[in-house]
Chain A
């Protein structure tokens, strides 16, 4: 019996000596990343240059801006427009610059170390105007039994020209909305000497205006192979309700861009990659080749895509009372000006339709 016990103990002892398995991953490269586009609207148009982070078993660094590069946009007539570095890694065209339909453009970059990069030519294709924008309230089921996500889906109506092959790209410009606060509910701080958390209503201000600070901007794309020459009404954007945006009025601004087939293909691949859910039916993750090329090493991987596009922009006011699904409103028991970025005066062009 004792021998058996010793045997079992020895087996346990040996089996418990597990060494952690350390995975040695090859260090990734810091890849030049180009992000930006030019349109037929007046500038400034922005191009952002960064270096991607390396990957490894631990978080090893930050995405760093690429500064002091010479950045220029050159059109098919040979007209060169130099971009000015406004912030580290952020380069802007002059305000007077705008792309012209029918011309093709390349982005030229020369880094501080002399390395030169160029984009493949991007031709500016015409884009039909947005006839109108509309919206509908939508609800998205979640794992939670108590609460679903909801938001506003924006639909664009436009007529696709029959005599062209069109590729569409819709972006949302950061919207502006009315911040509704409750200054009458303001209370003293908990460490107040005489009346902690006691009522301390403020006279001002219940409503402010705020440019949506969300940095995540969704996008939609489409090609006209399924609707060439037809009038369309397509969902182009989704703005999620965070309990604050749709308390009164939200102004959304939609850009409809006409892009090249190559840019459309690139964005479609990006869309596939960002919608990976981890299921077995997902596309395999991969680096997407853009249209930037290193002149010294054409096989160098450069991330990003330089887009040149024509654009039409429209805005729509979304009214709270017309939304079927709303999240529980977030209460701001204070002056609305305490919300970072909120101002009392509406934007100069704020003009919601009167009911």
Chain B
């Protein structure tokens, strides 16, 4: 029995000894790492540090040192305050000098002892201004200047006039309010921490001036009429007078003398006829809108101001779109057929032939313009601009129109490689398309009444003229307006 008790006691002492002997004195160490540079720009840096330990730390402060020298004399200190838990911490500093070498290290203040992490070397980045968005606008509007590493003190100059910086997003996009114009086209300068950057793109102030140059010498209002041009002489005629009676005559406006003169016409009065600059034809001889009673009449305005009747058309159409390319006449769409068929007339042979259909239904209300041997047409629904190349007989997409969708009845004309599109029904806007780089810019708004249609549109000497025929409920004569796309005031 004694032997048994002795054995049991020995076993307990042995087990107790094992447990006692397994206790080791704990030795905790705390390490600190300057892990990474999370963000670096011209003047800002965001740093990531980490405290590595298996126990809580009682740090009175932690953060980062930043200095221009490796010995960290006169450092900029990012102090993140007390810290008890190990793990990651992020510090951020701004106000650094651009394009400057810096050294950074993390620190941890532990009960009088200062612990430092590894040193990382970095170079702050250089600011750059790369572009404008958009590159045009008017006084008071806000545009974006794109680039990188813009500093908080960035200033923007339009020519010599400073614009108000509204904000800088992600140090890469400056929102700036356009100042008063000192010239129609100015260079944009951006200054960050004394460094001047010139944006390669120039900025264009919104231009375009309007002037009413003449009232029509009568009370007539032309609708569904045709308009033609021969040099300085603009012709408007046929169609209806307020939709109540046919207008059987033409009127000529001499833009240099600014005088109106009535011109007799011996043909049948028409409405819904097509017209290009010199040619017009077909259309309906009934006053009712429907049904059409269409005729194949075909006329040409001669350079001496007389009208020549040409052989009848091989088709009839109402409200077709017509344009002249390389001396040949094209007639497209209309409301009588399926709206896309296109005919080409060769004045040399007098022959008509079918060419490729337009990519969508067109009428004379479709905005179109001719440039460098191509016709451009605008789909009012999709706002897509298409171009027709006669040599290949193909249509191709060009660009999208930024104006309002659904607009018809506007005009399109080209002056010095820039197309001017707009003045659709109930619109006072004109857009400019730079055909060399497909850049769109809005022009100044038309100051006249918008309850009117364009009874005639003409181009002379770099200026656009349009005859406005007001809606029936409005008083007053038709007005001839002059639009100078480059006008600046």
Q: Which residues of A pack against B, CB within 8 Å?
A: 72, 74, 76-80, 82, 106, 108, 118, 120-121, 293, 295, 298-299
Contact = CB atoms under 8 A, between A and B. Distances in A.
Interface stretch (B82-90, B371-379, B397-405, B409-417): B82-90
Given A78-B171, A79-B172, A293 B37 contact: no
13 contacts: A74-B39, A77-B148, A78-B42, A78-B149, A79-B148, A106-B38, A118-B38, A118-B39, A118-B46, A120-B36, A121-B38, A293-B48, A298-B88
A76 B148 CA distance: 11
B38 A299 contact: no
Contacts of B170: 72, 74, 80, 82, 108
Given A293-B48, A299-B88, A120 B38 contact: yes
Nearest to A294: B90
Interface string B464-475: 000000000000
Nearest to B148: A78
A316 B128 CA distance: 44
Nearest to B88: A298
Interface in B108-166: 125, 127-128, 148-149
A118 B170 CA distance: 13
B41 interface: yes
B62 interface: no
B90 A298 contact: yes
Contacts of B85: 299
Determine chain B's interface SS by DSSP, over half rule: strand
A106 B48 CA distance: 14
Interface string B167-208: 000111100000000000000000000000000000000000
Contacts of A79: 148, 172
A80 B148 contact: yes
Given A106-B39, A293-B38, A78 B89 contact: no
Contacts, number: 51
A106 B170 CA distance: 13
Given A72-B170, A77-B148, A78-B148, 11 more contacts: A74-B170, A77-B125, A78-B40, A78-B42, A80-B173, A118-B46, A120-B38, A121-B36, A298-B48, A298-B89, A299-B87
Interface in B34-53: 36-42, 46, 48
Nearest to B87: A299
A283 B149 CA distance: 45
A72 B170 CA distance: 9
Contacts of B88: 293, 298-299
A120 B90 CA distance: 12
A73 to B, nearest CB: 10
A77 B171 CA distance: 12
B172 A121 contact: no
A78 B172 contact: yes
B171 to A, nearest CB: 7
B90 A78 contact: no
A26 to B, nearest CB: 20
Contacts of A106: 38-39
Contacts of B90: 293, 295, 298
Nearest to B127: A78
Contacts of A121: 36-38
A295 B46 CA distance: 10
Contact of A298 (B87, B128, B172): B87
B89 to A, nearest CB: 6
Nearest to B90: A298
A342 B172 CA distance: 45
A80 B87 contact: no
A299 B83 CA distance: 13
Contacts of B46: 118, 295
A105 to B, nearest CB: 12
Nearest to A296: B90
A339 to B, nearest CB: 32
A72 B37 CA distance: 17
Contacts of B42: 78
A295 B90 CA distance: 7
B458 to A, nearest CB: 41
A101 to B, nearest CB: 19
A299 B50 CA distance: 10
Contacts of A72: 170
A106 B125 CA distance: 15
Contacts of B128: 78
Contacts of A74: 39, 170, 172
A298 B39 CA distance: 14
